[in-house]
């Protein structure tokens, strides 16, 4: 009986420990000072030991990234509590996943590693936050937005040169998309293991082609609003593709005449 009780206690402690690891970013966001961070601006906390030069650089990165979000979406509606580290120890302490540059908790919190304190990485993270905030946490959990579109949109918003050509190019694709793109997080992870980072370029290609044929960034804002209202992504996407192809066919026919 005693031995069984001891095992139950041990298992309980292990479960509590695992739960704390999973929610650590949320706890850190709720109490940044408890994790060695100090306030740098409204909603932005940096590692207390961060040097003045790094603080200045960080402030510039945040300002540029937030401006990119506002420019693309029309406004930045969701500003997460942002925790920025200048050392790996800090990033581990606040619950950053090993090997990751940034991490988000819906539209509530964003954690940034030392390697990710740059405009592209932070803009991509904030794009995820904005999309999830506009669609809604519950709908995102129910798969309202396919993974390829969310990841591709983040690349497009940030103009990530690793995966997409600059806006000055008519054809911005660095890798062609393919019909059966991974829709769920698990499918995305499996495909990423097989395809590698080219998957980001493929997703960005398919996303940017849709954006270009639907009025640019305002079309994305409209799409997210419809998704928040409960309209299905597949229907909205297919209708848009059909309209786009119809317009292209009409234009081609006009030229022939």
- 60/164 same-domain check: no
Question: Is residue 154 included in any domain, yes or no?
Answer: yes
Question: Is residue 5 included in any domain, yes or no?
Answer: no
- 117/68 same-domain check: yes
Domain boundary among 111, 135, 159: 135
Contact 152, 200 (CB under 8 A): yes
- 80/163 same-domain check: no
- Residue 104, CA distances (Å) to 53, 70, 115, 184 in order: 26, 19, 16, 17
- How far is 200 from 15, CA to CA, in rounded Å? 35
pLDDT score recorded for residue 107: 87
- 86/163 same-domain check: no
Q: Of 89, 144, 142, give the one whose Cα is nearest residue 113.
A: 89
CATH code for position 45: 3.30.2010
Domain boundary among 106, 135, 164: 135
Q: Which pTM value belongs to this model?
A: 0.84
- How far is 216 from 213, CA to CA, in rounded Å? 7
**Number of H helices and number of E strands within the chain?**
10, 5
Domain count, the chain: 2
Domain boundary among 95, 114, 135: 135
The burial of 183, by beta-carbon neighbours within 10 Å (0-12 exposed, 13-18 middle, 19 or more buried), is given as: middle
Strands 109-112 and 102-105: antiparallel
pLDDT tens, position by position, for the chain (257 residues)?
555 555 554 444 444 444 444 578 899 999 999 999 999 999 999 999 999 999 999 999 999 999 999 999 999 999 999 999 999 999 999 999 888 899 988 889 999 999 999 999 999 999 999 999 999 999 999 999 999 999 999 999 999 999 999 999 999 999 987 778 999 999 999 999 998 999 999 999 999 999 999 999 999 999 999 999 999 999 999 875 544 444 333 333 333 32
- 51/96 same-domain check: yes
- 142/91 same-domain check: no
- 116/59 same-domain check: yes
pLDDT score recorded for residue 67: 98
Owning domain of residue 85: 31-135
- 144/244 same-domain check: yes
Cα-based angle 219, 222, 223 (whole degrees, multiple of 5): 85
């Amino acid at each position: 009986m005693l031995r069984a009780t001891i095992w139950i206690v041990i298992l309980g402690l292990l479960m509590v420990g695992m739960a704390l690891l999973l929610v650590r970013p949320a706890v850190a966001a709720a109490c940044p000072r408890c994790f060695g961070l100090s306030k740098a601006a409204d909603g932005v906390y940096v590692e207390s030991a961060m040097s003045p030069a790094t603080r200045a650089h960080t402030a510039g990165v945040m300002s540029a990234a937030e401006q990119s979000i506002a420019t693309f979406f029309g406004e930045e509606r969701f500003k997460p509590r942002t925790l920025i580290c200048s050392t790996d120890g800090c990033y581990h302490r606040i619950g950053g996943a090993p090997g990751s540059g940034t991490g988000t908790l819906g539209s509530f919190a964003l954690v940034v590693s030392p390697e990710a304190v740059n405009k592209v990485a932070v803009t991509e993270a904030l794009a995820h936050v904005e999309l999830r905030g506009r669609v809604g946490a519950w709908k995102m959990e129910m798969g309202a937005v396919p993974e390829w579109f969310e990841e591709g949109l983040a690349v497009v918003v940030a103009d990530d040169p690793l995966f997409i050509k600059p806006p000055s190019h008519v054809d911005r694709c660095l890798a062609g998309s393919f019909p059966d793109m991974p829709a769920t997080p698990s499918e995305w992870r499996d495909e990423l293991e097989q395809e590698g980072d080219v998957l980001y370029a493929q997703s960005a290609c398919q996303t940017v082609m849709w954006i270009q044929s639907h009025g640019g960034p305002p079309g994305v804002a409209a799409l997210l609003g419809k998704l928040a209202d409960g309209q299905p992504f597949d229907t909205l996407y297919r209708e848009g593709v059909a309209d786009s192809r119809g317009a292209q066919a009409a234009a081609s026919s006009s030229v022939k005449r």
